[in-house]
């Protein structure tokens, strides 16, 4: 669990929010070295995929490929 002062949080809020959302890290906010608050990730919120490859790998194809559907449609139109 990381600690950061109020001034540090104010100056670099985006950086700390990224740590909380991406790394699921908890940040304790201090005022004169006394803990006053915590930044924590929300429970049940899905995290983003890290890359396009991860997105492609997460998709499970069903049925025939689109190219086969197009070929079938063209064949039907010819007859």
**Residue-range domains of the chain with CATH:** 1-43 (3.40.1620.10)
Q: What is the pLDDT of residue 10?
A: 96
**Rg of the chain, C-alpha, whole Å:** 24
* Residue indicated by tokens 């991860």: 54
What residue ranges of the chain have pLDDT lower than 70? 45-49, 79
Q: What is the pLDDT of residue 15?
A: 95
| Residue 18: half-sphere exposure toward Cβ, Cα within 13 Å | 4
Lookup: tokens for 31? 């005022």
Q: What is the pLDDT of residue 47?
A: 64
Q: How many helices (H) and strands (E) does the chain have?
A: 4, 3
Q: What is the pLDDT of residue 38?
A: 95
Q: Are 48 and 23 in contact (CB under 8 A)?
A: no
Q: What is the pLDDT of residue 76?
A: 87
Distances in Å between the Cα of 52 and the Cα atoms of 1, 56, 65 are: 30, 6, 20
Question: How much is the pTM?
Answer: 0.55
Q: What is the pLDDT of residue 46?
A: 65
């Amino acid at each position: 669990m990381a600690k950061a002062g109020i001034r540090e949080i104010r100056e670099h809020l985006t950086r700390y929010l990224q740590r909380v959302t991406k790394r699921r890290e908890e940040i304790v906010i201090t005022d004169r070295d006394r803990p006053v608050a915590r930044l924590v990730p929300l429970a049940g919120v899905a995290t983003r995929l890290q890359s396009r490859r991860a997105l492609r790998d997460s998709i499970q194809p069903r049925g025939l490929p689109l190219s086969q559907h197009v070929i079938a449609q063209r064949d039907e139109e010819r007859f």
